[in-house]
Structures are given as C-alpha cells and as structure tokens.
Structure 1
C-alpha cells in the first residue's frame, strides 16, 4: 500500500443508529482505501450514551484529544436532545467538536438521483455552505455561558453572534468551492430586518466576491430563497449563509432532492475536518438493520476528497470518486436500494454492495 503516514481517521459511533451507519461507513472506507492502495488506521473511543453510562459524560476529554490528533473524523448521529443537562454530563459531541476545533464551514450538498423520486420541479445539484460556529446557536455565542438568558420567568432572550472574521472565512470557502463547480454563489440573508448582523455578513461576502470576478454573485432574502428552492432549485449552485438559515434551508433542499437519507455533509476548519450525516440518530430504528447509511457514507467520500486536495494525494481523490460513483449507481435501482427508498436491502447488505461497487470503480480509474 502507498504509505501516506498511515491515514488516521477517528470514528465516533454516536447513539441510536449511529453504531450501525458508522460500521457501514467503515466497511466502505476499508474497501476503497485498500483498492486505492492507501494505508489507514481507524481509531475510536466511546461517546454519547455509551460513555455516559461508563464514565458519566457523553463526551470524555480523550475524545476531543483523539479528534485533535486524527487526520479526519467520522461522527455518527447523536441523541443530544435526550442527554441530561451539561452539569450531569450531557455534552453535545457535535456542537463541541465544531466549536473547539473551529469547524467553521458546514458544507451540505443536495442533489437529485435518477431513479429516486423527488418532489422538486426538476433535477438539481446545489451546495449550501453554512457558517458553523456563530449565529443564533446558543452554545456558540459566548465565551462563558450560553447565548440564551431568562431575566424573569416571563422573558426569554437570545443573542446572535456574527463576526467579521467568521463571515469572511465562510464566504471565502463558498467562493473557493464555486470555482470547482458552476462558478455561482448566492448569499442568503435577512438584512432588511437584521440590519446590523446580516448587514455585517453581507458586507463581508461582498468584499470576498470582489476577489472572485470569474464567479457570478447574487443575493437573496432568506424567505425568498426558501420559496425559490421550491419553485426552481436548479437555479442555485453554491448558497452561503449564516448558521440557522443554513440549517433550515439545507433540510428543505435535501427533502426536495428525494430523501435526507442521501444527504451528505462535511464540517471543515483550517486544520480539522469531520464527516457527519445530515440526519439524526433515529433511536426507534436502532438495532433493526434498516437504517440507510448513504448519508454518512457520502459524507466520508467528501472527507476523503477534502483530504486528497489538502494533501495533494490523488489516491484519496480516486477513493472519494469511487464512493460517490458507487452510491449513485446503486441508488438508481430499487433492487440495490435500502427500504426507506423503496428497496429491500438492510444497512449492512447495502454497505457491502457499496463497498464492492466503489472498490471496483477505484480499481478501474
């Protein structure tokens, strides 16, 4: 195998269906990296309810240390809404990793696949680049405490954080991504109401846009963008926006594509990168071998592609393309799809088919 200092990937199982879809993703990674002649090592430690039971916390300190030393991470879905209070050990692994590792860009592609019914007016392929460390998210706005306060029992207040640094870097990420796609960026905002915070965000995006004259740039109010996604999502290429708007719009876009079960995502920082499915932990499906692992498998492909570009490693790019092509081929037919998409395959059987198909495509490249 080609040695790139034994690529180390931290695998965090999470909760609910997390262990099953992470195991499926590991199987696919194993197959494609072997086919691409890349040496790798999966490293792991329990998080979520598993570590809460054994160690009294859902995110032990060594998990963060493991993330800091790995070349990349794969995070399974977590049931953080069911965790106890933070004082009782209920720490959200996803939010903590995003904040502590400054994974400022949440990149969420949404696209249609032939053979998978979609409610949109026609086929489309877009990416939403969501700021990941600021905004209205209460755990990401303060040095101490949270961005939500309750001065009296009848008054609740939330603070929104938008910084120049955060806005500039998310804008740059969006424009760099657009250069690899159809060279179009749409900034989504609500500056007619949030004049100060979204005003700063737009100022920064416009500043970055000036550095990319070959990329078409436009702006849309968030309510108009939501409507336009329903009417004609094909008009969008890369959409860049703040945290909460991006969270909502990406869920809308993936539903329009046919299934959130196919929706990959990547959390990117200057130094660290983490693959994470867009969907939740679905505890009612846990242990039944019915969960669709495609979202996390596709996210792992994004992870390999990012590492391949960053390290200048063509083998990782081939492995990523093999996964993406293999997934696309398999989901086109009901005979090779999971049950949520009208097929018959269980989690592990689908993973085996993706592993075989993806590895074959890597070997053919």
Structure 2
C-alpha cells in the first residue's frame, strides 16, 4: 500500500452511551491514522439498535448485514436489547446476530490495569480468548432460532454445544497470542461435572498446546478460576475458555483491572473483525457525557492491530501504538472519568487523548 491508501470501516453507534463512546473512538482513530501517514478513513455508518427498529423495522436490518458483507472491519457500539419492544426483545440480540452472520469465532478480551490508576488487583495484564460461536450461549448453537425452547410453561431447555472444530480454532488463536506475550495459556473448564462437553474443550486445547512446546499450559475449573483471578490476577497471561465462562471471567477481570469501562474486546474470524467494548449500553447515564470511552477507544486500537496483521501494514500498527500510548498518558495525567475516580467527561477524555496523539506526532516530526 502507498501512503495515499486508506481504509473503509463500518460504524454502528448502537444504543445508550454508544452514540457518545463510538464517536470518541472515531476521533482517536482519525488522529492516530493521520499521524501514521494513512489517508482519511472512510467511515460507513450503518443503522443498528433501537433507532433502526424505528426506521427499518429491525434492530439489525438486512441492509446492515449486506453492507457488513462488503467490509472487513467495523466498530460496534453497545446495544440495549432488553428494552426493545416485542418481538425484537425476544430475538437474537444485535451483537449475537452479527457475530453469527459473520462467523466471528474469536472474542479477544484484554484486561490491563493502568499505572497510577486505582485497580482492585494492580498489575493485572491478561487476555481472555473466548470461543464465540457455541458453548453455553444457546443462541450461537443453531442454524435458525435462539437455541432455547419451552416444551411446557414450566420447563425451559437450552442447547449447550462444544465441538472439536470450534475448540481447535480458538485454541490455536490463544496459543498464537501467547507466543507474542508471556508464553502461558490457562484453560478454563468444568470437566469435573461437565465431563464430556467441557472435558472435550480442555482436552482439545491441550492437544493443540502440544504443538507449542515453548508455552506453559495449566487448567482450572471455572469456579476456582474466579478465586485465582481475585487472589493473583497478575500470574495469568492468556486464558482460553468457552463462551459463557469467557463472558463472565472477562467482566470480572475488567473490574479487577480498574473498571469495566476500560475493558476492550475484538470479535474476529480469519477475514473479518468487529471492535466492541466489553461493557453494556449503560442507559442510566446515556446522554450525560460521563461514560468512560476507554474500552471503545482501545477496542478500536485492537481493530487497527488486526488490520495491520492482515494487510502487513506497519502504519496501522503504529496508529494503534499511538492510541495506546495516548490513553496511558492521559490516564497518567489524572484525566479520568468518574468510574475511575476522576471528573473528566466522555468528550473531554477523548479530546485529551487526541491532544496527546497530536503532540507525540509533532515531537516525532
């Protein structure tokens, strides 16, 4: 690619605080990519969420899915599907719909504490690799429908499925990531009770691990793992687990690192990726300009890193580094939102990050 080349990325604001934190991330991406010598990003805005129900009759319109098919990467804001009117409330939620449609099998969720910022477990620096297509989230396990049904009003049944093929894919992703970090993979399961299903997950992960002799491998039951994270979070590097366990552990680790508001995530296949903060839509604070945008900003940085690997474009990796450094410097200056003990607004924090990106660019020129 030449320096005049640019990239085309999707943009879905979502619900609640989404229209506040997604633009904050866009500002940071635009500043960092420009500083790294990349032409202006072409942002493709797509309808999603409650506003899309009002305008298109669906939380995820078919036109949105068709447009995503033409894109390799996009930013997704949080959704507030529990507040949707029926029948939309009972359908597969927007993020699940997109993950299933695009086959985004890996959900990568880092948890890293900031120096000088309050954290329940200082020194936390880990990544949870969550298998994203099956497991105990029933809505991921069927070609059609949500995977839940009620044969009588008093009985509810959900499918929980674990396959060798899906487990191998997430295990490879986990071990490949570990090779770039501290070379330690922890497998989380519940094979003492769910012997066949999570036992298969554990065993397949260990089989894949045999191909990575430089990586140390251990495993824990999900209940014990919650205790280990609280007691000694900094001891862990890459944690690989099934869908629901990964969702629970990533929320826990985000809080241990300082706040769920700083917990980014990336959903990916081999050909497409979606940046999505790990937290929800926080409707109680929507529109007040007080939400923490760090998770969304760092999710966008993860997206740039994924694109950098896919296109072998060092400029994208440089842009991601600029964003991470600027966020670190902003927090180091004491500029944080209320959930981290500060008083900065959403827009004020984003402006501070952009200012750090700009000043760093001037220093290097």
Superposition TM-score, scaled by structure 2 size: 0.95
Distance 1:118 1:88, change over 3 A: closer
Give the Cα separation in 1 of the matches to 2:360 and 2:231: 36
1:52-91 aligned at under 5 Å gives the runs 52-86=53-87
Asked whether the 8 Å contact 2:298–2:324 carries over to 1, the reply is yes
Using the TM superposition, name which of 264-273 and 90-99 deviates more: 90-99
Asked whether the 8 Å contact 1:58–1:91 carries over to 2, the reply is no
1:340 matched to 2:311: no
Give the Cα separation in 1 of the matches to 2:354 and 2:271: 28
Give the Cα separation in 2 of the matches to 1:346 and 1:85: 34
Asked whether the 8 Å contact 2:28–2:350 carries over to 1, the reply is yes
1:144-293 aligned at under 5 Å gives the runs 144-293=144-293
Give the Cα separation in 2 of the matches to 1:86 and 1:181: 45
Give the Cα separation in 2 of the matches to 1:211 and 1:31: 41
- The offset of 1:117, in angstroms, is 1.1
Asked whether the 8 Å contact 2:58–2:88 carries over to 1, the reply is no
Give the Cα separation in 2 of the matches to 1:359 and 1:188: 42
- The offset of 1:150, in angstroms, is 1.4
- The offset of 1:141, in angstroms, is 1.0
Asked whether the 8 Å contact 1:115–1:333 carries over to 2, the reply is no
- The offset of 1:360, in angstroms, is 3.6
Give the Cα separation in 1 of the matches to 2:68 and 2:126: 29
1:119-130 aligned at under 5 Å gives the runs 119-120=120-121, 122-130=122-130
Which residue number in structure 2 is paired with residue 356 of structure 1? 355
Using the TM superposition, name which of 258-267 and 152-161 deviates more: 152-161
Asked whether the 8 Å contact 1:59–1:91 carries over to 2, the reply is no
Which residue number in structure 2 is paired with residue 8 of structure 1? 8
Distance 1:88 1:205, change over 3 A: closer
- The offset of 1:88, in angstroms, is 7.9
Distance 1:137 1:91, change over 3 A: closer
Distance 1:202 1:301, change over 3 A: same
Which residue number in structure 2 is paired with residue 113 of structure 1? 114
Distance 1:206 1:317, change over 3 A: same
Q: How many residue pairs get matched?
A: 363
1:33 matched to 2:33: yes
Q: CA RMSD in A?
A: 1.7
Give the Cα separation in 1 of the matches to 2:311 and 2:96: 26
Give the Cα separation in 1 of the matches to 2:66 and 2:4: 22
Give the Cα separation in 2 of the matches to 1:320 and 1:297: 10
Asked whether the 8 Å contact 1:136–1:147 carries over to 2, the reply is no
- The offset of 1:362, in angstroms, is 5.1
Asked whether the 8 Å contact 2:59–2:88 carries over to 1, the reply is no
Distance 1:131 1:282, change over 3 A: same
Give the Cα separation in 2 of the matches to 1:110 and 1:154: 39
Distance 1:91 1:208, change over 3 A: closer
Moved over 4 A (4+): 1-5, 86-91
Distance 1:193 1:345, change over 3 A: same
- The offset of 1:357, in angstroms, is 1.1
Query: Residue by residue, what CA displacement relative to the aligned partner does 1:73-99 show, whole Å, maximum 9, x if unpaired?
Result: 100011012123446896522001111
Partner-residue secondary structure (3-state), 1:195: coil
